[in-house]
Amino acid sequence: MDESEIKTILRELVNGRLTAQGKATDILDDNVSLVDIGVIDSFGFLELVAELEEKTGVFPDFEDADPDQFTSINGLAQVILETMKQA
């Protein structure tokens, strides 16, 4: 699985959340903070990580990651890629 595939999965998950919240999906950008646009909060983050693990088979290793990475598609994709490299 490469970065493009991971980002596609993340976009699908986030777009689903936006749609469920009645928000436009065109506000999504790979660098936008998912917290700032109201897609996730702390509980929503855990749900997103669980869904991501289910789709990718990878549980992200957040131990060495910068917390700022947790809030955007680009950041989360990088955490997943780093976790895959360590496996």
CATH number reported for the structural domain that contains residue 82 in this entry: 1.10.1200.10
Amino acid at 19: T
**Domain ranges, residue 11:** 3-86
Report the C-alpha gap between 25 and 78 in whole angstroms: 22
Predicted confidence (pLDDT) per residue in 37-71, tens digit: 888 888 999 999 999 999 999 998 888 888 888 89
How far apart CA 77 and CA 81 sit, in angstroms, is: 6
Query: How many domains are there within the chain?
Result: 1
pTM for this predicted structure: 0.89
The confidence score (pLDDT) of residue 69 equals 85
**Spatial separation of the C-alpha atoms in residues 39 and 57, rounded to whole Å:** 23
Q: pLDDT-based confidence at 27, cuts 50/70/90?
A: confident
Residue with tokens 């994709």, as numbered in its chain: 77
Cβ neighbours, 10 Å, residue 85: 7
